[in-house]
């Protein structure tokens, strides 16, 4: 009887451990899936958008207009259309590589990986942010740490911690994603667990047949009077975009 009791106790503990592990894995998969769906919702199979960007500082402010194209999850092109002095400046991202073009010097420059965390065109967005990289999906471990209700939606708060061998500058990122896959907020924490900057959705509305964040603001916690805001004027999803659009030749000489 004592032996049977020990066997039953062991089996019960094994069952509970298996149940706990399965639940934890399910939570991890759910968190990763939410991030993937949020990115897919924002990009679609492909997209074309017209965007205005405002860079705000304590003593000055400037704005520019841009066109942006994306295809799949690793290819994008951004081109400035206004003001005249910045017109033609562009950024091409393809297969984890990034290039910039400036008409003033008529030169294409490849952005090294060491510069991906640097400012894009003097804004609070980094080169990595503009590339809309999906590295966070595979190079981080994800966990839902909180759920709450907001405006009739369930909001999932996900903590994403990079793998030890990942070439990531952040100690962690925290994302708030609605149940309709709209990304409400993305926090960037450093290696010392200090919040450095936050990207927030300032307005949500229906564009291109989808509910999306139409105004997004990026700002650093150390300088609250400085921020950059992206405002989407128009967006269209799942357009037929030729591969020739996403080339260095197209970056230098627009044909579309």
Domain ranges across the chain? 32-252
Q: What are the backbone angles phi and psi of residue 161, rounded to the nearest 5°? A: -115, 125
**CA–CA distance, 143 with 137 (Å, rounded to integer):** 12
Query: What string of pLDDT tens digits covers the 256 residues of the chain?
Result: 554 444 444 434 433 433 333 333 434 449 999 999 999 998 888 999 999 999 999 999 999 999 999 998 889 999 999 999 999 999 999 988 999 999 999 999 999 988 888 999 999 999 888 876 677 888 999 999 999 999 999 999 999 999 998 888 899 999 999 999 999 999 999 999 999 999 999 999 999 999 999 999 999 999 999 999 999 999 999 989 999 999 999 999 886 5
**Residues 78/48, Cβ–Cβ less than 8 Å:** no
**CA–CA distance, 1 with 90 (Å, rounded to integer):** 77
**CA–CA distance, 155 with 138 (Å, rounded to integer):** 22
Residues ≥6 apart with Cβ < 8 Å to 232: 49, 50, 51, 207, 212, 213, 214, 215
**CA–CA distance, 59 with 134 (Å, rounded to integer):** 35
Four-way CATH pick for 32-252: 3.10.450.30, 3.30.70.260, 3.40.50.720, 2.50.20.10: 2.50.20.10
Cβ count near 180 (within 10 Å): 14
Helix (H) or strand (E) holding 76: strand 75-82
């Amino acid at each position: 009887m004592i032996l049977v009791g020990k066997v039953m106790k062991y089996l019960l503990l094994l069952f509970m451990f298996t149940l706990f592990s399965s639940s934890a894995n399910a939570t991890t998969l759910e968190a990763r899936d939410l991030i993937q769906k949020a990115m897919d919702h924002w990009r679609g199979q492909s997209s074309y958008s017209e965007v205005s960007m405002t860079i705000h500082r304590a003593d000055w402010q400037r704005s520019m207009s841009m066109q942006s194209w994306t295809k799949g999850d690793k290819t994008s092109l951004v081109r400035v259309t206004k003001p005249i002095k910045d017109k033609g400046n562009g950024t091409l991202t393809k297969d984890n590589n990034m290039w910039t073009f400036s008409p003033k010097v008529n030169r294409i420059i490849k952005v090294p990986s060491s510069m991906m965390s640097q400012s894009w065109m003097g804004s609070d967005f980094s080169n990595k942010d503009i590339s809309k990289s999906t590295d966070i999906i595979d190079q981080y471990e994800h966990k839902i740490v909180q759920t709450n209700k907001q405006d009739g939606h369930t909001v999932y708060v996900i903590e994403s911690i990079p793998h030890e061998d990942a070439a990531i500058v952040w100690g962690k990122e925290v994302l708030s994603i609605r149940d309709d896959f709209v990304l409400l907020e993305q926090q960037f924490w450093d290696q010392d667990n200090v919040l450095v900057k936050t990207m927030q959705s300032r307005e949500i509305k229906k564009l291109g047949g989808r509910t999306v964040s139409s105004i997004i603001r990026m700002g650093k916690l150390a300088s609250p009077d400085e921020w950059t805001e992206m405002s989407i004027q128009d967006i269209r999803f799942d357009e037929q975009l030729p591969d020739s659009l996403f080339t260095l030749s197209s970056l230098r000489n627009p044909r579309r």
